[in-house]
Amino acid sequence: LHDKAIIRLDADEVALLLDFVENCGNELSGQALNYYKKTKDRDLAILTLLLGTGIRVSECVGLDLTDVDFKNNGITVTRKGGNQMVVYFGVEVEKALKHYIEGDRKAATPLSGHENALFLSTQKRRMGIQAVENMVKKYARQVTPTKKITPHKLRSTYGTSLYKETGDIYLVADVLGHKDVNTTKKHYAAIDEDRRRKAASAVKLRES
């Protein structure tokens, strides 16, 4: 089992984070405000996607425009080891992605070789892993200063929510792209503790 507790966002912190990205422009001015306006829809799309699908940051920056399928609400990601898989997303992710793709992404003129990239940097190139990590840290610091939140922590947040909702460790392993379900079990064993405690009061021996 894990020696250290998994750091993840609680449900209210997820909402706070997304609200903050949507509205923090009110507190900015000058150059910071200009930069925020340029990147807001993209950043919101990335954060919503990471929190709503649990994909890895490497999978996120590797996405092309053609990997997004709004007909079935799925994205084709290239997993570790190179195999491809469709990961499905819900309405919130759909909304954030559409808003970005039909707005800022459509208006952008990418540099040569970066035309297909879904997420572009302000230099009009495909965003790199480091850029997404910095962006996540920048926003998360404002919302949860005591937790060090990285894109991987957003993945853990998603995995935790999915496991709590479904109780299906095999589904969680599959969606997260874990080759071995034991990897998943190791990470989410702490949640099982809570469930085991509930078992203690679930069975009534005598009606009171």
Q: How many residues does the chain have?
A: 208
pLDDT in tens, 59-98: 999 999 999 999 999 999 998 888 899 999 999 999 999 9
How open is the CA angle 121-147-132, to the nearest 5 degrees? 10
Nearest to 50 by CA among 20, 85, 12, 18: 18
pLDDT in tens, 37-65: 999 999 999 999 999 999 999 999 999 99
- Residue 112's pLDDT is 97
Q: Which amino acid is at 106?
A: K
Domains of the chain listed by start with CATH number: 11-198 (1.10.443.10)
Q: What number of other Cβ atoms are within 10 A of residue 85's Cβ?
A: 15
- Residue 3's pLDDT is 54
What sign does the dihedral 107-43-59-15 (CA atoms) show? negative
DSSP summary character for residue 125: S
- Residue 139's pLDDT is 94
pLDDT, average across residues 182-194: 77
Q: What number of other Cβ atoms are within 10 A of residue 102's Cβ?
A: 11
- Residue 204's pLDDT is 79
pLDDT in tens, 167-177: 898 999 999 98
